[in-house]
Structures are given as structure tokens and as C-alpha cells.
Amino acid sequence: MATLEIHDLHVSVEAENGAREILKGVDLTVKQGETHAIMGPNGSGKSTLAYSLAGHPKYTITSGTVTLDGEDVLEMSVDERARAGVFLAMQYPVEVPGVSVSNFLRTSATAIRGEAPKLRTWVKEVKSAMEQLQMDPAFAERNVNEGFSGGEKKRHEILQLELLKPKIAILDETDSGLDVDALRQVSEGVNRVRATGEVGTLLITHYTRILRYIKPDFVHVFSEGRIAESGGAELADKLEAEGYESYSTKGGATA
Amino acid sequence: MAEAQNIPAGSTTAGAIAVAAESTVATRMSAPPSFDVADFPVPHGREEEWRFTPLARLKGLHDGTAVADGTMKAQIDAPEGVTVESVERGDERIGKAGTPVDRVAAQAFSSFAKATVITVPKETVLGEPIRVALHGEGGTTFGHTVFDVKPFAEAIIVIDHTGDGVRAANVDILVGDGAKVTFVSVQDWDDTAVHTSQHNALVGRDASFKSVVVTFGGDLVRLHPRVTYAGPGGEAEMLGVYFTDAGQHQEHRLLVTHDAPHCKSNVVYKGALQGQDAHAVWIGDVLIEKSAEGTDTYEMNRNLVLTDGARVDSVPNLEIETGEIVGAGHASATGRFDDEQLFYLQARGIPADEARRLVVRGFFAELVQQIGVDDIEERLISKIEAELQGSV
């Protein structure tokens, strides 16, 4: 069973006046089949965790370890991590002019699977995944994320999740900017992948709204660059009622 | 950081027309067109038409010190029915399509020994391209070539430049009434070559002309692809692809002069740049004269900067002297293949070198498909692949 283990992870970014530490010792274990929600106020370091796990060059790991089934993830390049089974659905997916969605998906699937998918089954696979996400087939011929609406970008991210079948899926604020219908369709996509039991999900969100559609096994409250409290799904209800105030610096909960 | 100068896309249509008070295309040149090099002052580099060009690298083409001391091996493959002549400078077909617009073009005109005239007879439809292979073997050479495609003939012409040397030339393309011509000029020089050339196309009544300019090599390449119309109903398509590497200067200065009514022009140039001091310049001028009612024109330049240290200057310019047109527009944009795009593609398992290839192939694909000459398309794609191999 695939397991992602994060131990005492410290991460910095270069700021104008030197390096600034954003993650200050994160410990978390995500196993295949589990869903962990990471919740927290803006600026608490949730997205930094997501991008650090995927290997974004902006973030420097200063100490700690991340392993996937014992393999050192931090030693891997960005594409090696993806091929090892780590997937990041981005909050702000990047436009890639000149590259069509269909070309992109096939190139990506070829890289992840280690061989080009058979054309006939591939076309069917993409078509049915797009239908389930209520995506227009014409979408495949557009350039990656170019001129996509917020909802289209998120559907496109989840389409990739469904096609690439990672071991660990990190969903960075996938719910942000979605209307109720889009949120439901995107959540259904995530749930289809979860239902296979083959993915460990790290669901990063600011709001509890998406948790009505995607039920987490564990909820972690992120504050000041580390996990301040962990619990079951009931912790989300508490956050819904009380907000993040008790975790803020002023509240002293993380001190 | 790459200095990617970005001129925002602009467009002018029948609804909103800027009428030029006077022709800035003409007034910003330092001298009117002339066949005589003495009519042009030696440029010092600050003139509008010279301000992007590193004069010191022109090997004396601009100041009269270049002498014809080189060798250019020429091989001409002409299909049956086509005539190839070597003529003296007095031949009346020379210079009919256009007049040199800067000092190096006038220098080439003043210095060539004999001109080559290649004629496609009336109503002849060629099954194979006319191929002119020019291989530089060092030193300076001057040239003048005239392609005279008679009415209702159809021809594909390919001029292929390889090797090393300093080359200044003029190429005239006379497109007869109702004729159909594709003219391809490939600059696949060694990285030490210097090449300046003015392409003058005179497009006849109801004729169609396609110019394809492909520039990869050279230390300095500066081309003037130009189109004028000899009658109404003409169509011109001007396509260009360039791949500018470290230290290379590649400059394309286009002018379409709409002086006849109901003509069309469409200009699309795309370039990729990589490496320190790679410099691409694109000047796209379109002039719609008062007589050119019913004109339909569009010009576009796109640049993709792949690494730091490269520079693009892209200047589209549209001047309109009549409001009675179908459409006129232009666009220019320079984008970077940036770290975020690379991260996104890598985060989907695609290795960095393949990610770069994917983006560059995608950038050029649509334009390459429009060329319509199979072996040129294939060569272009493999050339782009080779350029990318060198970059990683």
C-alpha cells in the first residue's frame, strides 16, 4: 500500500530581506485509500506544503524528509515525482499556449504510464472522462488553460487526476472560485478516483463547503506553518462553527 | 532577464480607421529608394532603419569597404520549360519589381557582375519546384536574381542558402497576371555568415503570391521581403519562421504596399529565441494608399523567448490613406517559455527537454503546415528539433 510520509518538514522562500521560513516542521502520513483535509487560514502555509511536495523550484527545503513508500521524494525532480505517483491539482493552473489539451494529456499519460496509451482505447477513455465532468469535447482542441474560465481550469485538473491515476493526489484549493454546480461535478470526479481505493488524497481548502461533497477521514488544522490540531471529520464541523480564530497567533494556540 | 519588448496587439477595421497624415514608412528612411549606392549616406546606426542592426558585423557591406572577393557555388535545378539565363545589368527585366531601399541593397545592385533571370513561360504549370542552391565558400559576394513568372503560370521557387560568407543580394519576383507563385527562401547558413537581401515581389492582376522565409543560421541576417501590386485582385501571403540562437542577429523587415484596389495581404511571422544575445528584429509595415480601396490586410508577429539573455524587437506598423477598405489589422506579442509553464508540464510527468519541445512544436505547428512545400516543412521540423537538442 502506497504511503506518503512527511516528517519535520521545514521550507523557506527567498524574500527581499533573505530567506523566510514558511513551513516550520510538518508531520503527516497519508496512506492509499485515505482522505486528509488540510484546512487553515490564508497564509498559514497550506499551498506551500502542496507546491513543496510537487517540487516547485521557488521553495527550498531546509530540513525534514518526505518519502513515498520509502523512496526519498525530495531527491526527485518535478517530473520524477509525478511519475512516482504524486499529483498536484493546482489552484492556479498555468496557460501553455500552442499546446492542445489532447496533445498535452497524451504526452503526460505516456510519460506517467511509461508507454503511449493505445490510441483507440485512449480516445474512449478521454471522451468518457470528459463527459463525466460535463466538459465539451471541443475542449480537447483548445490550448492548455488558455482562455479557460475558473471552472474549466478546475475540471481540466480533475480530468488529469482521473486519467493519470496517481498514488497520492494533492488538491490545492480545488474548490476556490467554483459555483455550486461546478463544485459538485468536480467533487464527483474526485470521489470516482477515491472510490477505486488506490489513491491517498490530500485535500487542501480554506472552506468547509467542499467537505459536504468529499468526506475526509482526517482533518488537520494548519496554522503558522505546521499542523496545529488533527482529528476526524467532526473537526471540520467545529471549524465551520468557530472559524480559525482560536488558531491564530493572537490566540496563542500555536505558540 | 530577457528583454522581451511587447507591443500590445492593435487592430484597425472599417469601423475605426487611423488616417496617416503623411507616409511615415517613406519619411523615416534616410534616403529615397535608388539603384545607386552613392545616393545613400553611410549609416551611423542611429537611423530608424538601422537602429537595431549591429553595423560592425556587416563586414563592410554598409560603408563601401566590402569587395567582391568570395565564392558562391550556385546550383540551379529548373524543371522542363523553365529557362535560365545569365544576363548583363542592362537587361530590362532587372529591377522591374522594386528598387533598393537601403544602402546594402543598393551596394548589392551596384556591385553584382551578372544577373540570373529564370523564366516560367505563360500558362506553364510546374510539377516540380525550381531550386536554387547557393553555397557560400567564404568571402564576399553580390547577387541579383530575377524570377519572371508569366501570366497564368504556376511555380514553386526555393532558394536555399548554406555555407559561409558575406552575401548581399536582391531578388525580384515578377508574378504575372493570374499566376500563382510560392517563393521560399531558406537561410541555413553557418553561424559565421552575413546575409542581406531585398526580395521584391510585384504581384499581377488576380495573381497570388506566397513568400516563405525560413531563417536559422548566420551571424547576421537582414532581409527585406516586400510586396507591391501591379493590378487589382492580387493576393499575397507572407510567412516567416526564425530560430535565433545565442549571438545571432536575425532581422526581417517587411513592407506590403497596397497601391491597387481589392488586393489582400496576410503576414504571419513566428520566431523562437534562445541563448545569450540572441536578437530578433521584426518590422512589419503595411501601407494602404489612397487608390487601394477594398484592401483586406492582416499582419502578425509572435515570438517565443526560451531562455534569459535573448532580445526581441517587434514593430508592426499600419498606415491607411483610404477609409474604403474591407479590413486592416495587426498584432505583435512576445511570450516567454517560463518556469511556471515548465513546472506545470513537469508536474504531469513530462521531462524538461520534452516539455520545451512540446511548447516549441506547438508554437510553430500551425504556421509550418501553411507552407505547402513538403520537403521544406519536414526540414523545418527536423531543424527545430535539432535547435532544441542544442539548448538543453
Q: At A242, which CATH number?
A: 3.40.50.300
Q: Residue A82, Cβ neighbours under 10 Å: how many?
A: 26
Residue of A nearest to B351 (CA): A79
Q: Chains A, B: CB contacts under 8 A, how many?
A: 81
Q: Is residue A223 part of a domain?
A: yes
Cβ pair A57:B335 closer than 8 A: no
Q: Residue B305: its chain A contacts at CB < 8 A?
A: none
Q: What's the pLDDT at A159?
A: 97
Q: What's the pLDDT at B24?
A: 59
Q: What's the pLDDT at B13?
A: 28
Q: What's the rounded Cα separation, in Å, for the pair B102 and B41?
A: 9
- Interacting residues of B97 by C-beta distance below 8 A, sequence separation 6+: B146, B172, B173, B174, B200, B201, B202, B228
Q: Cα B347 from chain centroid? A: 39
What residue ranges of chain B have pLDDT lower than 70?
A: 1-28, 390-392
**Is the CB of residue A236 less than 8 Å from the CB of residue A39?**
yes
Phi and psi based region of residue B61 (left: phi greater than 0; alpha: psi -120 to 50; beta: remaining): alpha
- Average the pLDDT over A155-165 and give the result: 97
Query: Looking up cell 519541445, which residue turns up?
Result: B357
**Is the CB of residue B282 less than 8 Å from the CB of residue B330?**
no
Grid coordinates representing A154 are 478546475
Q: Residue A96: its chain B contacts at CB < 8 A?
A: 341, 344-345, 359, 362
Q: Residue A93: its chain B contacts at CB < 8 A?
A: 344
Give the residue from B260, B256, B258, B280 showing the smallest Cα distance to B270. B280
**Is the CB of residue A99 less than 8 Å from the CB of residue B358?**
yes
Closest Cα in chain B, distance from residue A134 (Å): 22
Q: Residue A56: its chain B contacts at CB < 8 A?
A: 343
- The DSSP element (H or E) to which B192 belongs, if any, is none
* A42: confidence class by pLDDT, cuts 50, 70, 90: confident
Q: What's the rounded Cα separation, in Å, for the pair A55 and B229?
A: 57
State the Cα angle at A108 between A106 and A110, rounded to 5°: 70
State the Cα angle at B339 between B335 and B342, rounded to 5°: 95
Closest Cα in chain B, distance from residue A227 (Å): 25
Q: What's the rounded Cα separation, in Å, for the pair B225 and B211?
A: 8
Q: Is residue A99 part of a domain?
A: yes
Query: Which one of A56, A143, A160 has the shortest CB-CB distance to B348?
Result: A160
- Helix/strand/coil for A91: coil
Q: Residue A90: its chain B contacts at CB < 8 A?
A: 344, 347
Q: Residue A88: its chain B contacts at CB < 8 A?
A: 347
- Helix/strand/coil for B153: coil
Q: What's the rounded Cα separation, in Å, for the pair B192 and A108?
A: 39
Cβ pair A104:B345 closer than 8 A: yes
Q: What's the pLDDT at B254?
A: 97
Q: What's the pLDDT at B10?
A: 36
Give the residue from B278, B295, B276, B277 showing the smallest Cα distance to B287. B295
Number of domains in chain A: 1
- Average the pLDDT over A63-76 and give the result: 97
Burial B238-272 (b: 16+ CB within 10 A, else e): bbbbbbbbbebbbbbbbbbbbbbbbbbbbbbbbbb
Cβ pair A94:B363 closer than 8 A: no
- The DSSP element (H or E) to which B210 belongs, if any, is strand B208-215
Please report which residue ranges of chain A form alpha helices under DSSP H: 46-54, 78-84, 101-113, 119-132, 150-164, 180-195, 234-242
Cβ pair A104:B335 closer than 8 A: no
Q: Is residue A118 part of a domain?
A: yes
Q: What's the rounded Cα separation, in Å, for the pair B362 and A246?
A: 51
Query: Which one of A88, A108, A143 has the shortest CB-CB distance to B350?
Result: A108
- Average the pLDDT over A45-50 and give the result: 96
Closest Cα in chain B, distance from residue A244 (Å): 31
Hey, of A47, A52, A56, A78, which one would you mutate to test binding to chain B, going by the most B CBs within 10 A of its CB? A78
**Is the CB of residue A44 less than 8 Å from the CB of residue A225?**
yes
Closest Cα in chain A, distance from residue B128 (Å): 33
Hey, of B241, B343, B367, which one would you mutate to test binding to chain A, going by the most A CBs within 10 A of its CB? B343
Q: Name the DSSP class of A95.
A: P
Q: Which residues of chain B have a Cβ shorter than 8 Å from any chain A Cβ?
A: 304, 335, 339-341, 343-352, 354-355, 358-365
**Is the CB of residue B221 less than 8 Å from the CB of residue B247?**
no
pLDDT digits (tens, 9 = 90+) for B101-155: 999 999 999 999 999 999 999 999 999 999 999 999 999 999 999 999 999 999 9
Query: Which one of A83, A94, A144 has the shortest CB-CB distance to B349?
Result: A83
Q: Which residues of chain A have a Cβ shorter than 8 Å from any chain B Cβ?
A: 54-57, 77-79, 81-83, 87-88, 90, 93-100, 103-104, 107-108, 111-112, 143-144, 160, 164
Burial tier of A198 (Cβ tally within 10 Å: 0-12, 13-18, 19+):
middle
Beta strands (DSSP E) in B188-326 are 194-203, 208-215, 220-229, 235-244, 249-258, 264-273, 279-288, 296-305, 311-320
- Interacting residues of A87 by C-beta distance below 8 A, sequence separation 6+: A160, A161, A164, A166, A168, A169, A170, B347
Query: Which one of A78, A98, A100 has the shortest CB-CB distance to B347?
Result: A78
- Interhelix angle A119-132/A101-113, rounded to 10 degrees, is 120
Output the CA–CA distances (angstroms, integers) from residue B154 to A140, B157, B370, in the order listed.
Answer: 38, 10, 18
Grid coordinates representing B240 are 516567416
CA dihedral A102, A107, A108, A112 (to 10 degrees): 140
Cβ pair A97:B363 closer than 8 A: yes
Cβ pair A97:B349 closer than 8 A: no
Q: Is residue A94 part of a domain?
A: yes
Give the residue from A37, A159, A147 showing the smallest Cα distance to A87. A159
Q: Which amino acid is at A165?
A: K
Cβ pair B362:A111 closer than 8 A: no
Strand partners, B8: none
- Interhelix angle B352-369/A101-113, rounded to 10 degrees, is 150
Cβ pair B345:A96 closer than 8 A: yes
A204 pLDDT higher than 50: yes
**Is the CB of residue B271 less than 8 Å from the CB of residue B312?**
yes
Give the residue from B253, B254, B319 showing the smallest Cα distance to B292. B319
Q: What's the pLDDT at A98?
A: 82
Its domain, for residue A103, covers 3-247
Cβ pair A79:B346 closer than 8 A: yes
Please report which residue ranges of chain B form alpha helices under DSSP H: 24-27, 103-111, 339-346, 352-369, 374-391
- Helix/strand/coil for B112: coil
Cβ pair B343:A79 closer than 8 A: no
Q: What's the rounded Cα separation, in Å, for the pair A244 and A241?
A: 10
Q: Is residue A125 part of a domain?
A: yes
Q: Residue A119, Cβ neighbours under 10 Å: how many?
A: 9
Q: Is residue A255 part of a domain?
A: no
Q: What's the rounded Cα separation, in Å, for the pair B200 and B183?
A: 11
Q: Is residue A170 part of a domain?
A: yes
**Is the CB of residue B87 less than 8 Å from the CB of residue B119?**
no
Cβ pair B350:A143 closer than 8 A: no
Closest Cα in chain A, distance from residue B114 (Å): 45
Query: Looking up cell 553611410, which residue turns up?
Result: B42
Q: Residue B304: its chain A contacts at CB < 8 A?
A: 98
Closest Cα in chain B, distance from residue A190 (Å): 17
Grid coordinates representing B13 are 477595421
A245 pLDDT higher than 90: no
Q: What's the pLDDT at B5?
A: 39
Q: Name the DSSP class of A103.
A: H
Q: Is residue A254 part of a domain?
A: no
Cβ pair A96:B341 closer than 8 A: yes
pLDDT digits (tens, 9 = 90+) for B18-42: 344 445 565 567 789 999 999 999 9
